[in-house]
Amino acid sequence: MNPTLEQVAQLAGVSRSTVSRVINNHPNVRPEVRERVWQAIRECGYRPHAVARSLVTRRTGILGVVIPESLTTLFTDPFFPLLLRGATEVCNLRKHQLMLLLFNDPAGEEEMYQRVLRNGYIDGVIVASATVNDPLVNLMARDGIPFVFVGRPLDPSIPSVDVDNVGGARTAVEHLLRLGHRRIATIAGPANMTSAQDRLEGYRLALEAYRIPLDESLVVHGDYTEDGGMLAMQRLLPAGPTAVFAASDIMAIGALKFLRQAGLRVPEDIALVGFDDIPAASAVEPRLTTVRQPIPQLGGLAVETLIGLLQGPRARPSMQRIVLPTELVVRESCGALSAFGR
């Protein structure tokens, strides 16, 4: 059994209160007493019992990361691993912990909510939900559970962190425009995901900036899968695009495979740009030009924001939304390198 405060106190010849003060760095303890207490602590290998402490402080230092059902299947996509890595890094720094809350069905979501989020173990929550209208958000808002949204929430007053999907897509498409392309198609993502909406908006803005009217036959929705990308490319081909902007690398790879089957060369016949910069993007031939997102930073920022929220609800501005910039990674699939590079 681990030693308790009481035993440390006895060993140091002081009261429980004094030991507690030493542990918690309260100023009003005589230096020599403080030293004696530390000695006793070291001597018996005392570690504060976090559970007992939490019972009175009402803080556990545990942050939940909620990844809803629809996304669990996408878990092989490196988004979540990178997000978690960034989040844990900041957590380690700030002496907090991350608890993983994934579920595979909506019933699990409800059960999880009641059992875990309302049981006092979790100080606050990071919600990484890509879908437009997640029910969890309303529940948490109702119950006053502090949370930060990763992505773009419906209600803009909800604290959130996001990458600049609009800007990233716009940059990608403008890159193609600058290369001379005028018939640029897009394989958009699922219409109910905000990231997909925003990337489509970026596509629109780029065309608008070049005064090119939007041609509906050049816009097809995929589902962020490789097969979806192949299918979308097939439907797009009759419209005769000279370039394609895919809202995700996975779909771009699907498109690439379809084009290869169709006997078309990338980038010579059709230029291709993706989004995400997943590892596979640089494994395919030709390597994919794509938009890289600072995902670990996003995770870290989410934690930072949440901890800020927990510490000072007073200092919290009514609206808090942070958007991180993206970066265009130019490789072979867009044709820019063969045009200028050699």
Q: Which one among 6, 17, 42, 52 touches its own copies, defined by CB under 8 A? A: 52
> Mask: binding to DNA, 121-160, rule CB under 7 A, as x and -?
----------------------------------------
Nearest-approach distance from CB 30 to DNA, in angstroms: 4
> In this structure, are residues 160 and 324 in contact, taking their beta carbons and an 8 Å threshold?
no
Q: Which one among 41, 101, 166, 173 touches its own copies, defined by CB under 8 A? A: 101
Nearest-approach distance from CB 53 to its own copies, in angstroms: 9
CA dihedral of 51, 52, 53, 58, whole degrees rounded to 10:
70
Burial of 124 (0-12, 13-18, 19+ CB in 10 A): buried
Report the partner that residue 263 touches, choosing among DNA, its own copies, none (CB closer than 5 to 8 A by kind). Answer: none
218 binds its own copies (CB under 8 A): no
Residue number with CB closer to DNA (2 or 261) = 2
Cis peptide before 267 (omega within 30 of 0): yes
Report the partner that residue 20 touches, choosing among its own copies, DNA, none (CB closer than 5 to 8 A by kind). Answer: DNA
Nearest-approach distance from CB 148 to DNA, in angstroms: 25
* Selected range binding its own copies among 104-112, 131-139, 159-167, 325-333, rule: CB under 8 A: 104-112
Give, in order, the Cα–Cα distances in Å from 187 to each of 199, 207, 212, 240. Answer: 10, 15, 18, 14
Match 């092989």 to its residue by tokens: 76
Residue of 324, 294, 293, 301 lying closest to 87 (CA atoms): 301
**Residues whose CB is less than 8 angstroms from the CB of residue 184 and which lie 6 or more positions away in sequence, other chains included:** 173, 176, 177, 203, 207, 218, 241, 242, 243, 244, 245
Nearest-approach distance from CB 117 to DNA, in angstroms: 15
Q: Which one among 20, 131, 242, 320 touches DNA, defined by CB under 7 A? A: 20
282 binds DNA (CB under 7 A): no
Structure tokens at 27: 């100023």
Q: Which one among 10, 11, 25, 27 touches DNA, defined by CB under 7 A? A: 27
| Distance of alpha carbon 330 from alpha carbon 29, whole angstroms | 61
Structure tokens at 252: 């771009």
Nearest-approach distance from CB 123 to its own copies, in angstroms: 11
> In this structure, are residues 131 and 108 in contact, taking their beta carbons and an 8 Å threshold?
no
| Distance of alpha carbon 219 from alpha carbon 223, whole angstroms | 13
Burial of 129 (0-12, 13-18, 19+ CB in 10 A): buried
25 binds its own copies (CB under 8 A): no
**Residues whose CB is less than 8 angstroms from the CB of residue 226 and which lie 6 or more positions away in sequence, other chains included:** 250, 251, 253, 254, 257
> Mask: binding to its own copies, 271-300, rule CB under 8 A, as x and -?
--------xx--xxx---------------
Instruction: Tell me which residues in 40-99 interact with DNA (CB under 7 A).
Output: 46, 48-49, 52-53, 55-57
Burial of 244 (0-12, 13-18, 19+ CB in 10 A): buried
Q: Which one among 23, 29, 33, 116 touches its own copies, defined by CB under 8 A? A: 116
Q: Which residues bind its own copies (CB under 8 A)?
A: 2, 47-52, 54-55, 60, 62, 65, 72, 75-76, 78, 80-82, 84-85, 88-89, 92, 95, 97-104, 108, 112, 114-116, 118-121, 226, 253, 260, 279-280, 283-285
Q: Which residues bind DNA (CB under 7 A)?
A: 1, 4-6, 13-18, 20-21, 23-24, 27-30, 33, 46, 48-49, 52-53, 55-57
